[in-house]
Structures are given as structure tokens and as C-alpha cells.
Amino acid sequence: MANFMSRNDLLLLLGFTVVVLTMPIWLTPFGAGYPDLLQRFMIFGIFAVGFNILFGLTGYLSFGHAAFFGVGSYAAVWSFKLLTLDAIPAMIFAVLISGLFALIIGFLSLRRSGIYFSILTLAFAQMSYNLAYSVLTPITNGETGLQLTLNDPRVLDAAIGQTFVGQPVPTLLGQQLGGYAGFYFCAGFLILSFFFAQRVAGSPFGMMLKSIKSNQTRMQFTGFNTRPYALSAFVISGMYAGLAGALLAVTDPLAGAERMQWTASGEVVLMTILGGVGTLVGPVIGAWIIKYFENILSALNDNILTQFWSFLPEGLAEIVVKVTSKFVGDGWHLTLGLVFVIIVIFLPGGIMEGVRRMAATARRSDPPGAKSHQHQPAE
Amino acid sequence: MTILKSGMSRRRLLQTGMAGIIGSGVAPMMFTKGAWAQEFCNNPTGDTVTLGLNLPLTGAYAEEGADEQKAYELAIAHLNGEGDGGLLNVLTPSALTGNGILGKKVGYVTSDSQTKSDVARAGATRMIERDGAIMITGGSSSGEAVAVQGLCQEMGVIFMAGLTHSNDTTGKDKRRYGFRHFFNAYQSGTALGPVLSNAYGNDRRAYHLTADYTWGWTQEESIKNTTEALGWDTVEAVRTPLGAGDFSQFLTPVLNSGADVLILNHYGNDMVNSLTQAVQFGMRDRQANGKDFQIVVPLFSELMAKGAGENIKGIFGTSNWHWNLQDPGSIAFTKSFGAAYGSPPSQAAHTCYVQTLLYADAVERAGTFYPPEVIKALEGHEFDGMGNGRTLYRAEDHQCMKSVLVVQGNDAPTSEYDVLNVVEEVDAATVDYDPSIFGGELGPAEPAPVCA
């Protein structure tokens, strides 16, 4: 059992757990310590971890992962409507459906690799989006979004005579999942997902995926059939996306078609690249940064800016407010774009590469007299 | 038991780890518990009260959102006793003092809803959970309104809908915590019917282009019912995605469909684009079935009319309110909005302004911010002086019952704002309807313990 997990992996998992569970404390000074955003941090963290299994480990860039996310949400909401308000059946249901969905799309898309694979997944995702948006409106309620209502059937709840007060909201064994309860529920799943991703990356199966990334043709020549491995990776990451989608529906029981749009698929690619492709922590950090920008920067308005810059002299403050206001509020995409460009140009490996470089610099400057060369050590 | 290289047993490590997890998991609960210990969600305890403005600042309805923001800022200034007081002076009966709400200064937070239901809901949650908003208001799309209204019911926070015209908002999806001042598609149909019959006769063939979400669906249904009752045929009803931008693929089939009326169930930027393209296709100069081809836009606003320019001349539609009305309320509002921003207000601005004042007034009358009491004060409340004549906040579905305007694009505008003529003011009794026809259930007034 000694090689159950390496010491580094265990430390990483523990550190990650501590950081995640203390988020309500250390994010409060940044204006992000409120349950809804924390839940989103967890949910999109799971989404990005799952996406990284496919993109980071296997090297297949999927541009259609939002489809599985959306399918998970719709499946969960339908489970709330038809079966029970309990979260567990909804999540099992969502993960299974999105896994099945990923199996079909993956089976078709994985006949090609590289850019053709990306385009195929994009096409399937766009088809799913359009189905959800206009064709399947009886199931998805289109742009309006699928919501819970008082007169849903909820057969299981009805059978055991369980009722609720006020508006129907998802529960966990009768416990409501709003606010911080919802956050810890999602945090538990993020940590589990992270642990599972660690195990996958460290397993022989993970080794197989990594070798598909490094040279698929060589793998095939040595006699491996790579497709089952790639397909499993695709399905696993689709199920991760479904889990994330289901959690989003658990914490906020509404499923809208927008979460399946190609921009949502692109967002998870951005998260992964921003944080660091192929690293375990990177995609989660990327997800947090993007969600932070989306929710906090977009909420800043001229009033807040004026207060923030009020220490500057009158005329100057006005100019600064004018300039900065272009980068916040509805201009938050501009800031995100700038950050993304800077990271991709200077840190092609994402934020995690920055962390590694800093660690390397610190280590190199440790021994006295060691000349600090700017060259990367040739490894 | 195997010993790890570090000298720490696995069990020991797990034990320490679990202790850490439990410790760090419980600690924040202790910190946050106090924050939620209040008798209802976001009870304002200090000397200010925060309103949450959920505005579409980007997307197809961005222009409406910008105008709504101006109106809210104006309303909040007036509530705090700044400016000329606007409609505070003409609202009857009124409990407003111009000294904030219940003596507390009114502040606000905003969120960009991007004209998307998902984003609108996330923004509303943030304003409730982080910023402590006591009331959420705004929105320019019924999709947003329905989504946010459901959320507000869960959280026990009152939602004063901005511009939302779908029958569902106070019909199938109505909520105890949601209130709408704006009129709806059903009332548009009732008001528009006789005017269309007079102008275009009773033997017409209509083709619908419909924005594909709750508002479009219900407006299509209501207008179809009205025109079919007149004796018109409906050739086809085609759904178009919200924010499509280019409508030519939907407009081409209209030309050969045998229809002689095009009904555009579009709003905001979508309507500006579809109407402009329809005119570019030469539809207004066409003859079909031996008659002049006509276009109808059932829900019209000044902002859209301005955006569409020349193309709207002579086109019929309905409006909630128009700045050129000559009652004291409309005059007062147009005057103070014009003084502040240099342009006349749109109907979106008007409805948002009025909703803010009505909420403040209801709180004053209830004497508390406690939502069930405020809801009671709003339900069945009758008031006058807000520019729409005598108005009733109907208790059964939280819909304001008031007069509806039938408008027509102005053939000879005297200024860039003088783009619509009021053809007829249809009184409240005519556009009245039985609230039970749309079904739905308001739900309970007692706040759910989500926020507690």
C-alpha cells in the first residue's frame, strides 16, 4: 500500500483540499466570498478538471464539451421534475445520460484526430445547442430555460409523501442545498473529482493516454488499439462535464440553452490553457480566474470606480475612471482577452508554468554564488 | 502497517488530513452563521437600503437596458429627495416622503444580464447574496424575468419586473414575489385587433416571424387569436433565434408564401434588423393578393422606432406608455428625465421608474421591509398619476391593469424623438381579462428558509 499514492501527490491533494475548503475565508477580501460564486468556482473547476483528462492527457482538443454540461443540467432538472427533489438521483441520472451522450459523440468524432476532431465535436455541440434552443423546446423550454414548478409530478416524492415549503428546491436527504451548504456539497465533489483525476493520471491507463498524446502512430505500430483508450477518456471527461452541469442545476434549478452554446465550450478551453494544459491544478485555477472576472469585473460600474479612485486629484481621477471603466462592467471580456494574450505569449504553459518558473528561480538563487542565468535548464 | 518514506504512517496521515478537512470545513460556518442570522433575507439594519438592478447592458436588448439604468438612477435620486421629485409629486395615493424608504437612504448595485436567462439569474443571486439587495428589479426580456422571478421566489426577495411583455410572466409562470407593471401580449392583441381591422380589412393572410422564447411564443399566440377572430388567415409562423442579427433567410420565404401581412414578433435590436431588412426586400412596396403588403409590429418602443428610422412610417403596434401623453404624470416624468439626460424617456425607462416608486410606496404603506407585508400592500393596490391613468395591481396574478396605447410610426416626424403617433388609448376595461385563463400558481408569501 505504500505506493498507493506518492508523497507529492498526497501533499498536493491535501493542499488543494485545504485551499478549496477555506475559500469562503480567503476570498472575502476579493469580494468573491459569497455562496453563489463559490459554487460556480467548484462547478467549473470540475468541468475543467474533466476537460483536462481529454485535452491535457490525451491531446484531443474538444470544442464541444458544453454539450455534455448542458445535457447534465437538463437531465438533472428533469429528474427533479419527474422523480424527486433529492440531488443524488438527479446527479446519477445526469452523469449516466451525459456519459451515454459522450459515448455516441465520441464514437463518431474519434474517427478523426487533430483539427478534424475539434471541428466534429464543435459541429455536434452546435447541433445539440440548436436542438435545445429551438427544436426540442417541449423538453428544454428553449431560450426561456427549464424551471421547476409547483405542479411537477415528482413521482418518488409523491410516493413517500414528502412535501416542501414554498418553492420546490433541490435537497439532499431533506436538507436544502442553498448557500454555503451548496458550496460544501460542490466542494466535496471537486475534491473527489480532483482525486480521481490524479489517480487516472498516475495509472497505467493514464500512461496510455499520455502516450496517445505524444505519438499515436507509434502506439498503433507497437500493436495497441488506441481508440478504446481515447474513447474512454472522452466518455470520462463527458461524465465530468455532466456532473458539473448537474451540480449547477442542483445549486440553481434552472437549465438554459446558453450553457450549451459554443462560447461555453470555448470557455472551458480557455480555462484549461490559461491555467496550464496537462497539469492537475492548472485548469481549476483557470476556471476560477475566468469565473472571477465574469462575476466580479462585470459587476463594477462607474460609481464603484469613482469611489475606488477618489484618492486621486479631481481631474486625474475622472480620466482614470473613464479609462478603467472600459475594462470593467460590460467590457470585462476585454480584460480577460488581454490577460489571456499576455499569458499565452509569456507563459505558454499557463499559470502553472509561471509557478514552476518562480519555484525554479527560488531554488537556483538558494545556493550562494550560483549565477542566475535566465536560460531554462535543459532537461 | 507500512511506513512511508517520510516516516509518517498512512493512517496517521489520513487522520491528520481528515482533522484538517473537518476543521477547515467547520471554521467558515462559524464565521458565516452570524451573517445570515436575520428574520428575513437581507433585512436592512443600517441606515441604507440596497436595490439590485439587473440590466441587459449587452445583447439584443442593450439599448433598453441603458435607458432603464438611467430611469432607475433617476427614481433612486427622487426617492432620496434629490432632483425635482419627478412622479413623487403626482402619485396618488402616495406614502412617499422623499426621504429614502422608511427613512433609509436608497442605494443600488447593478449587474449586466447580457440578455441571457442564465446570466441574469447568476447576477441576481450575486446581488442578493453578496450585496444584500432587498429587492431585485429590471430586465428587458421575458426569459430573464421568468428566470429571475423563480429565483426570487426561492430566496424570498421581491422582484419588480422591468420590461417584460410575455403572457407567462404573470400567467403560467407567475410567482408570489414577482410583480409586473408592463402590459402583456394578450392586451396588445385585444387593443390592436379593431385598429388592424379598420386599416387593413378582414380578409388578410398573415405571416409571423417570432423571437424564439417565452415572449415571442405568447405574443404570436395572442396576435394569432386576435387576427383569426377578425377573419384573417395565418399562413405560417416561423421562429427565429433571439439576437440573430441577420433575418434574410427568414424573410425570403415570406415573399412567395402568398401572405399579404408580415407580423414581426421581434423586439429591440432584433426588430430593428428584421424590419430594416424586410423594407430592403421591398416588402412595403409590394402587392400581394391584390392588396398592399403590410407590416405589423405588435410591440413597439421609441428606441426601436428611432433605430429603424424611415422604415417604421405608418406601421401599427402597441406601447405601454409614450412620452408625448398629456396627463400630469407623463409630463412630469418626461420633464425630469429630459432635464437629467437630454432625451425623452422610453417606455422601458417609464415602467422601471414606476416600479421602483411603487415598491418604495408599498414598503412605506406596509411600514416594514418584511416581504409578505410588502406583497400584501401591493396586491390589489389602486393608484393614479403615473401616466397610465387609474391602475390596479391585480391581486390574482400581480399584473397591473391599465390602459394600452395603439401607436403608429410617424409619417412626418418633427424631431428625432417624435417617431410615434398615439392612434388610440384603449382603456383598462377593454383590455381586462380573466387571470385564470393562463393557469399558473402564485405560491406562498412566507419566505422559504433558503436565505436563513
Q: Please report the DSSP string for B293-329 in residue order.
A: -EEEEEE--HHHHHHHGGGGTT-EEEES--TT--SHH
The verdict on B230 and B298 lying in the same domain is: yes
> A302 at the B interface (CB within 8 A)?
no
Cα A91 from Cα A84, distance rounded (Å): 12
A300 part of contact set with chain B, CB < 8 Å: no
Chain mean pLDDT for chain B: 87
For residue A308, the surrounding DSSP H or E stretch is helix A302-308
Query: pLDDT tens across B70-127, in order?
Result: 999 999 999 999 988 889 999 989 999 889 999 999 999 988 888 888 889 888 998 9
Interface of A with B in 28-47 (CB under 8 A): 31, 33-37, 40
pLDDT at B451: 59
**CA nearest neighbour of B108 among B64, B145, B139, B138:** B138
pLDDT of residue B13: 54
Residues 6+ apart with CB under 8 A from B407: B300, B316, B317, B318, B319, B322, B420, B421, B422, B423
Which residue among A25, A36, A147 places its CB closest to the CB of B125? A36
Q: Does B242 touch chain A (CB under 8 A)?
A: yes
B265 and B300 inside one domain: yes
Whichever domain contains B159, its CATH number is: 3.40.50.2300
Residues B221 and B167 grouped into a single domain:
no
pLDDT given at position B25: 43
B1-26 per-position pLDDT tens digit: 444 444 556 565 555 555 554 444 44
Q: How confident is the model at residue B205 (pLDDT cuts 50, 70, 90)?
A: very high
The DSSP letter of residue A3 is G
Query: What span, in angstroms and rounded, lies between the C-alpha atoms of B168 and B439?
Result: 9
Domain boundary among B319, B338, B355: B319
The most distant pair of C-alpha atoms in chain A lies apart, rounded to whole Å, by 76
| pLDDT per residue rounded down to tens, chain A (379 residues) | 446 678 889 999 999 999 999 999 999 888 888 888 999 999 999 999 999 999 999 999 999 999 999 999 999 999 999 998 889 999 999 999 999 999 999 999 999 888 999 999 999 999 999 899 888 888 888 888 888 887 788 888 888 877 776 678 888 887 788 788 899 999 999 999 999 999 999 999 999 999 999 998 998 999 989 999 999 999 999 999 999 999 999 988 888 888 888 888 999 999 999 999 989 999 999 999 999 988 888 777 777 777 788 888 888 888 888 888 888 877 788 888 898 899 889 988 899 999 999 999 988 876 554 444 444 444 3
Domain final position from B292, B319, B346: B319
Chain A residues lying within 8 Å of B110, measured CB to CB: 299, 301
- Asked whether the beta carbons of residue A252 and residue B150 sit closer than 8 angstroms, the reply is no
C-alpha to C-alpha distance for B225 and B234, rounded to whole angstroms: 10
CB distance B10–A134 less than 8 Å? no
Residues B150-167 pLDDT 10s: 889 888 899 999 999 999
Segments forming the whole domain that contains residue B198: 186-319
Question: Which residue among B21, B119, B122 places its CB closest to the CB of A17?
Answer: B21
B residues 16-45 lying closer than 8 A (beta carbon) to A: 17, 20-21, 24-25, 27-29, 31-32, 36
Contacts 24+ apart (CB under 8 A), A7-13: A7/B4, A7/B5, A7/B6, A9/A198, A9/A202, A10/B13, A12/A198, A12/A280, A12/A281, A13/A191, A13/A194, A13/A195, A13/A198
Q: Residue A333 has what pLDDT?
A: 82
Q: Are B419 and A140 in contact (CB under 8 A)?
A: no
Classify residue B66 by burial, with Cβ atoms within 10 Å: 0-12, 13-18, 19+.
Answer: middle
Residue of A nearest to B129 (CA): A34
Interchain CB distance below 8 Å, A184 and B25: yes
- Name the β-bridge partners of B264: B209
CB-nearest to A258 from B13, B29, B118 is B118
**Co-location of B197 and B179 in the same domain:** no
B52 Cβ under 8 Å from any chain A Cβ:
no
Q: How many domains does chain B have?
A: 2
User: How much of chain B, in percent, has pLDDT values that exceed 70?
Assistant: 90
Question: Closest Cα to residue A278, out of A223, A328, A233, A333?
Answer: A233
Pair B384, B306 in one domain? no
Question: Residue range B228-245: average pLDDT?
Answer: 90
Which residue on chain A is closest to B7 by alpha carbon?
Answer: A7
B102 with B176, same domain: the answer is yes
**Are residues B219 and B190 part of one domain?**
yes
Q: Specify whether B269 is located in the same domain as B214.
A: yes
Closest CB to B24 among A4, A18, A330:
A18
Mean pLDDT of the B120-142 span: 90
- The SS3 assignment for A146 reads strand
Query: What are phi and psi for residue A22, nearest 5 degrees?
Result: -95, 5
The cell numbers describing A58, all together, are 490525451
Q: Do A145 and B123 touch (CB under 8 A)?
A: no
**B110 occurs within a structural domain:** yes
Are the C-beta atoms of B58 and B112 separated by less than 8 Å? yes
Domain ranges of chain A: 27-262
Residues 170-189 of B with CB under 8 A from A: 173, 175
- pLDDT of A3: 62
| Chain B: residue whose CA lies nearest to A295 | B123
Return the pLDDT at B450. Answer: 53
Kindly list the residues from chain B whose CB atom is less than 8 angstroms away from the CB atom of residue A248.
none
Residues whose CB is less than 8 angstroms from the CB of residue A138 and which lie 6 or more positions away in sequence, other chains included: none
- Decide: B153 and B443 in contact? Cβ < 8 Å: yes
- Beta-carbon separation of B125 and A180 below 8 A: no
Q: Does the interface ipTM go beyond 0.90?
A: no
B28 or A178: which leads in pLDDT: A178
A&B contacts, CB < 8 Å = 155
Residue type, B367: G
- Distance, in Å, from the CA atom of B261 to the CA atom of B201, rounded to the nearest integer, reads 11
Residue type, A97: I
Last residue of a domain, one of B363, B378, B402: B402
Chain B residues whose CB is inside 8 A of the A167 CB are: 150, 153-154, 175, 443, 448
Q: Which of A301-315, B58-72, B210-224 has the lowest mean pLDDT?
A: A301-315
Does one domain contain both B257 and B382?
A: no
The distance of A54 to chain B (nearest Cα, Å) reads 27
Chain A residues with beta carbon closer than 8 angstroms to that of B123: 299
Q: Coil, strand, or helix at residue A173?
A: coil
Task: Collect all residues of chain A within an 8 Å Cβ-Cβ radius of residue B117.
Answer: 143-145, 254, 256, 258
Residues of chain B neighbouring A149 (CB-CB closer than 8 A): 173, 441
